[in-house]
Amino acid sequence: MPATQSDEMKSLDAEQVLDAVLIGGGIMSATLGALLAKVQPEWSVTLFERLGQLAAESSNAWNNAGTGHSGLCELNYMPDPDDPAKAESIAGQFGVSRQFWASLVSSGDLPEAATFLTPTPHMDVVFGERDVTYLRRRFETLRSSPPFAAMRYTEDRAVIAEWAPLLMAGRTDSEPIAATRYEAGTDIDFGALTTGLVEVMTRNGGQVRLEHEVRGLRRDADGLWRIRGRAHGRRFTVRARFVFVGAGGYALKLLQRAGIPEVRGCAVFPFGAQFLRTDNPEVVRRHDAKVYSQASLGAPPMSVPHMDKRVVRGRESVLFGPYATFSTRLLRHGRLVDLFTTLRWRNIAVLLAAGAQNLALVRYLIGQLLATRTRKFAELQRFYPEADPADWSLITAGQRAQLIKPDAHRIGVLTFGTELITGADGTIAGLLGASPGASTAPAIMIDLLARCFPRQRDSWEPILHTMMPADQHYDEDAV
């Protein structure tokens, strides 16, 4: 069955008990659905998506930068150039992702990798003596680590011009500059990958319900979850033994409505993003890399500027950004009241404390919101001096909800990353936060299986090991 809603699907039955309900039609639910199809194919699994298509939010190809996050170029994963731990952890998780996708391609479950993955070199470029020193030290630290052993480093402008011609064309300053390059990086169309993974689930009997918005979760006296929502102007109800909330920015409010103590005091802060995009073939032809640099002072870690080659449905483009935006919506296709629906007496102080501790971030956001197109274009010209404004248009990307956690000492702490939340008894789980989520989805979902289904762990392990032979299963510290 294709991964879309069908008139032939059975009507929802409030008394039917499903084995698993997946909320949200993005890469996370799709990955979990595909994994369950492999380890427990006889289970009844239904995915609910509030919009009329899959991967319409953060997993959509144009709502993210498409970087296969593997620690190769993301300087925010390694603020201390002598500490490679986080970069190595993310590289390991992305390795699990590559193995999982490759196993599904090999078995014929997924189309050829070329439909969603394009080999694209990953680069860093930095300017000024301080950042050049930082990048040099980072390279020296990483070069002895196997995932990064093939990385190259240079301060030679001619070599940088060979690696990324647009960076050096027309550059007349004498400022120190350095770059690293790793040839085997990736550009990923997470929208196409999501669709393919959901098809793995549906071919094994799973169902997809588009235009079905889940609005409430309640634990019944018998321990089952009652899932309530609206579809086509009508209410629906189903019951399930297990619920996964992969609803992006809406995940926190659904977990709050479920009443699980694990999210008490948690809050979210929404960030949006815009990118400059060009499809000019002459520009695109000269840029074959994803080039990252250092974030501006006060900028959130996921706002590091980067100029990326993108390949979406076979069409090549170049993106530059991101430029931060703000809205009280928690999803791009959300509602202006979204942020306020997550406020509770327990998390208001947490939210305010996090804001007070991140005044530089507040100033950065205000500056971004007030920035003119001319100022935004000047940031691109820092990377690409000869950029022509006529070639570039501003596009709006996805919305992210960063997690703010209660803290015994600081009241509230703004976190950057992806966090798996599981209920104490393992019958409900959800995902909060943002990058590098999509790239590390298989590792996160394997962690979920270990936490939520410990009784099935022994029987599932041989299947998972066949698909992903590296000894990284159930490594909770890596997620």
Flag whether 298 is in a domain: yes
pLDDT of residue 11: 65
Helix, strand, or coil here: 202?
helix
- The answer on pLDDT for 6 being more than 90 is no
Read off the pLDDT of residues 68-77 as tens digits, 9 standing for 90 and up.
999 999 999 9
- Model confidence at 473: pLDDT above 80: no
Is the separation of the CB atoms in 120 and 191 below 8 Å? no
CB 435 within 8 A of CB 417: yes
- Specify the DSSP class assigned to residue 296: P
Kindly tell me if the per-residue pLDDT of 52 is higher than 60.
yes
Q: What are phi and psi of 196, to 5 degrees?
A: -65, -40
User: Each residue of 369-388: pLDDT tens digit?
Assistant: 889 999 999 999 999 999 99
Residue 280 in domain: yes
Confidence of residue 299 (pLDDT cuts 50, 70, 90): low
pLDDT band at 360 (very low <50, low <70, confident <90, very high): confident
Residue 306 three-state SS: strand
46 found inside a domain: yes
Alpha helices in 26-72, H assignment, sequence order: 27-39
Strand partners, 20: 45
Separation CA 322–CA 93 (nearest Å): 24
Order of all β-strands in the sheet with 207-210: 207-210, 45-49, 20-23, 243-245, 428-433, 418-422
Q: What is the pLDDT of residue 295?
A: 80
- For residue 441, give the amino acid letter: A
Inside any domain, residue 7? no
**Which DSSP state fits 224?**
P
Count: domains in the chain: 1
Provide mean pLDDT across the span 336-350: 96
Q: Distance (Å, rounded) from C-alpha 368 to C-alpha 375?
A: 10
Buried b (16+ CB within 10 A) or exposed e, 32-67: bbbbbbbbbeebebbbbbbbeebbbbbbbbbbbbbb
What is the pLDDT, as a whole number, of residue 366?
87
Answer whether residue 157 is part of any domain. Answer: yes
Give the residue numbers spanning the domain of 333: 17-478
pLDDT at 9 over 70: no
Give domain status of residue 283, yes or no: yes
Tell me what pLDDT residue 41 has: 96
- Residue 254 in domain: yes
b/e burial code for range 184-215 (CB count within 10 A of at least 16 → b): ebbbbbbbbbbbbbbbbbbebebbbbbebbbe
Spell out the residues 6+ positions from residue 7 whose beta carbon is closer than 8 angstroms to its own. Answer: none
Measure the CA angle with vertex 27, ends 24 and 29; round to 5°: 45
The percent of residues above 70 in pLDDT, for the chain, comes to 94
* Residue 477 scores a pLDDT above 60: no
For 11-135, where are the E strands, in sequence order? 17-18, 20-23, 45-49, 117-119, 122-127
Confidence grade of residue 469 (pLDDT, cut at 50, 70, 90): confident
Mean confidence (pLDDT) of the chain: 92
Question: pLDDT tens, 90-145?
Answer: 999 999 999 999 999 999 999 999 999 999 999 999 999 999 999 999 999 999 99
Confidence of residue 472 (pLDDT cuts 50, 70, 90): very low
Residue 319 CA, distance from chain mean position? 17
Distance CA 413, CA 350 (A): 7
DSSP assignment of 127-178 equals: ESHHHHHHHHHHHHHHTTSGGGTT-EEE--HHHHHHH-HHHHTT------EE
* pLDDT attached to residue 435: 75
Tokens encoding 81: 């150039």
Residue 251: partners with Cβ closer than 8 Å, 6 or more residues away:
24, 245, 401, 430, 431, 432
For the residues 170-196, what does the mean pLDDT come to? Answer: 95
CB atoms within 10 A of CB 133: 14
- Read off the pLDDT of residues 209-235 as tens digits, 9 standing for 90 and up: 999 999 999 999 999 999 999 999 999
The predicted pLDDT at position 10 comes to: 55
At residue 475, does pLDDT exceed 80?
no
- Residue 439 confidence (pLDDT): 93
**What CATH code is carried by the domain that includes residue 315?**
3.50.50.60
- In-domain check, residue 438: yes
The pLDDT of residue 14: 64
Per-residue pLDDT at 1: 41
Nearest alpha-carbon partner for 142 in 69, 93, 73: 73
Which tens digits make up the pLDDT trace of 382-405?
Answer: 999 999 999 999 999 989 899 999
Residues contacting 366, CB < 8 A, separation 6+? none
